[in-house]
Amino acid sequence: MADFNKILDAGDVDGGIINVVVEIPTGSSHKIEWNRELAVFELDRIDPQIFAKPCNYGFIPQTLDEDGDELDALIITEQPLTTGIFLKAKVIGVMKFVDDGEVDDKIVVVPADDRNNDNAYNSLEDLPEQLIKQLHFHFSHYKDLKKAGTTVVESWGDVAEAKEVIKESIQRWKDM
């Protein structure tokens, strides 16, 4: 029988398989965010269609990034995923990111069991170069049409660096 008192956690960080909750599907210009206090997904805003998400976007449960929100995840799949689902995801890297002067890193993941791609993605180097360029461009420019706000993709890190970012975010959550 299911244990309904169990809460979704970050998963097996050391093993590289984590839990990720989808907020925004690939191709959506809806900025959907998890509202921790109300325990619901909330439409924060609608961005210009030119800045629709180039990949699925979500968060890792029971983590807290330096910006005060759950640690973000960029979920690479060939098709959009639905808001609200969770998946077991394989960590393949991290995008080191600063949003309005605050650290807002993005963990890059793929589904842990992706038979369509023969589970071939194990690092950022395995992804198409064009996809990395699109992600870099999107996150460098998605605030360009706003009156205020700056974003900077500082660097890309490997699996080990991504795991360290996750572990630090889990500790921040526990300290909260």
Q: Tell me the domains of the chain and their CATH numbers.
A: 11-175 (3.90.80.10)
**Mean pLDDT across 75-104:** 96
CB 53 within 8 A of CB 106: no
Name the residue with tokens 């191709």.
27
Q: Confirm whether residue 6 is marked as ligand binding.
A: no
CA distances from 29 to 52, 75, 90, 163, 165 (A): 4, 16, 25, 29, 27
What is the tens place of the pLDDT at every residue in 1-55? 556 567 899 999 999 999 999 999 999 999 999 999 999 999 999 999 999 999 9
Residues near 65 by Cβ (< 8 Å), separated by ≥ 6?
Answer: 71, 72, 103, 104, 105, 169, 172
Q: Confirm whether residue 146 is marked as ligand binding.
A: no
Q: Confirm whether residue 57 is marked as ligand binding.
A: yes
**pTM, two decimal places:** 0.94
Q: Confirm whether residue 172 is marked as ligand binding.
A: no
CB 90 within 8 A of CB 111: yes
**Mean pLDDT across 93-110:** 94
What is the tens place of the pLDDT at every residue in 106-132? 999 999 998 887 788 999 999 999 999
Q: According to the model, what pLDDT value does residue 120 have? A: 87
In the numeric block, which tokens belong to residue 25? 């599907």
